[in-house]
Amino acid sequence: MPHQTHGSPRPNITGPVGGAPRVRHPGRIALAIFGTVLLVAVAAGGIYAFSLTRAFDDGTEKISNAFPDEASRPPRGQAEPGAAETDAPGDPSAALNTVPAGQPQNILLLGSDSRGATGKDLADIRGERSDTMMVVHVPADRKNLFVMSILRDSWVEVPGHGQAKINAALSWGGVPLAVQTVEDLLGIRIDHVAVVDFSGFEQTTDALGGVDINNPIGFDSSHLKGRYFDAGGQHLTGAEAIAFARERYAFQDGDFQRVRNQQLIISGLLAAMMHKSVLADPVKTSGLLETITPFLAVDEGFDSAYLTALAWELREVRQQQVTFFTMPTDGTGTSGDGQSIVNVDWVGLASVQRGFQTDTLSNYQPELQTIG
């Protein structure tokens, strides 16, 4: 496999097939999207900030009992020696005091079509399989971000059910079992969890006037009949962006390219959202937040206070400091009961586990993941 290296400033890892140039994509994470909007609210202050934070808290669904029993969970991360209790007096995180100072944070993001496909609330999606699973690692020093995608067909141990595809955990036990499965897999504690409805990305894209991407591979869409996505620069509407992000049948390596394309789409969304024409306009920012929040469900502690404080701590992080990678895999195969699966590279995963557990992911060198 081609080997990805880190330089200074840190690159983003996309790993598109065919040697296409690496593309920044610091936006597929809900943390970045909502954190940016709420950070603008902090900067604006007053009634505007209050209205935006209230819009987030009132607009998002809350996941009650989002976590497994405490006895089954890894311990909480420990603060670095000598870490301050809060940031400097007067800044938002000091006032809110909602982000543990000097402690890394791990946020699990689950992508779902549950509302659009079934009409269910996002907060209650037992019986549905998650199409997308990502773990956002926020280091204790808050100098960068790491986002690891987990392929949905990864063959792992699901607590209480034995070996299975990782996305089955959500179907069998809802959000708590999905959290427990990831915690057991990585040996880390998940601090917060969010479920994002994919249809929200369509609405967000249209609210931003479309999204610009650089498509590495041309293909015929199986979701928009008659639509061919040319290789190279593309400006996509919301419906086109969703079709682009969902496609897997057109590619030899299926879900591997699908994950990379999803990263391209959300990279473009964040780039558009961070444009000064949006961030400097309270009306546009408020409208964007109102567009996004109906498609998000979060645990009860994942509120505007937490997110705004974390966004403030990450205020110096730029696109170059956000690294995306995929959990190490060892090609595809077939399970004993005939399912098509993705094999986990357990040797490679050990390095990832150490990086998460010791807050040293900056030392990890991701590789391109494909069918092998």
Q: Is residue 25 part of a domain?
A: no
Q: Is residue 12 part of a domain?
A: no
Number of domains in the chain: 1
Q: Is residue 293 part of a domain?
A: yes
Q: Can you give the pLDDT at residue 121? A: 61
Q: Is residue 75 part of a domain?
A: no
| CATH for 120 | 3.30.420.590
In SS3 terms, 25-88 reads as CCCCCHHHHHHHHHHHHHHHCHHHHHHHHHHHHHHCEEECCCCCCHHHCCCCCCCCCCCCCCCC
pLDDT digits (tens, 9 = 90+) for 124-152: 655 466 778 889 899 999 998 888 889 99
Q: Which distant-in-sequence residues (6+ apart) come within 8 Å of 256 by Cβ?
A: 151, 326, 369, 370, 371
Q: Which two tokens stand for residue 347?
A: 């040797």
Q: Which distant-in-sequence residues (6+ apart) come within 8 Å of 118 by Cβ?
A: 128
What predicted TM-score, i.e. pTM, was given to this entire model? 0.80
Domain of residue 139 covers 30-69+96-208+275-334
> Contact, 295 vs 197, CB < 8 A?
yes
Q: Is residue 57 part of a domain?
A: yes
Q: Is residue 150 part of a domain?
A: yes
Q: Can you give the pLDDT at residue 55? A: 82
Nearest-angstrom CA–CA distance, 149 and 133: 6
Q: Sign of torsion, CA 270 365 153 181?
A: negative
Q: Can you give the pLDDT at residue 290? A: 82
Strand residue runs (E) in the chain: 61-63, 105-112, 132-138, 145-149, 155-158, 162-165, 192-197, 211-215, 219-220, 228-229, 232-236, 296-299, 322-326, 329-334, 340-344
Q: Which distant-in-sequence residues (6+ apart) come within 8 Å of 177 by Cβ?
A: 68, 158, 159, 160, 169, 170
Cross-strand pairs, 272? none
pLDDT digits (tens, 9 = 90+) for 320-352: 677 888 899 999 999 999 999 999 999 999 999
CB atoms within 10 A of CB 353: 15
Cross-strand pairs, 165? 155
Reduced to 3 states, what is the DSSP secondary structure of residue 179? helix
List the pLDDT tens digit at each of the 372 positions of the chain.
Answer: 433 333 333 333 333 333 333 333 333 344 555 555 555 555 555 566 677 788 888 888 999 899 999 999 998 765 444 443 444 434 444 444 455 667 899 999 888 755 444 445 665 655 466 778 889 899 999 998 888 889 999 999 999 999 999 999 998 999 999 999 999 999 999 999 998 887 777 888 898 899 999 999 999 999 999 999 999 999 999 999 989 988 989 998 888 898 888 878 877 786 777 666 776 777 777 788 888 888 889 999 999 888 888 877 887 776 667 788 889 999 999 999 999 999 999 999 999 999 999 999 999 998 878 876
Q: Which two tokens stand for residue 270?
A: 């964040």
> Contact, 29 vs 35, CB < 8 A?
no
Q: Is residue 106 part of a domain?
A: yes
Q: Is residue 158 part of a domain?
A: yes
Reduced to 3 states, what is the DSSP secondary structure of residue 265? helix
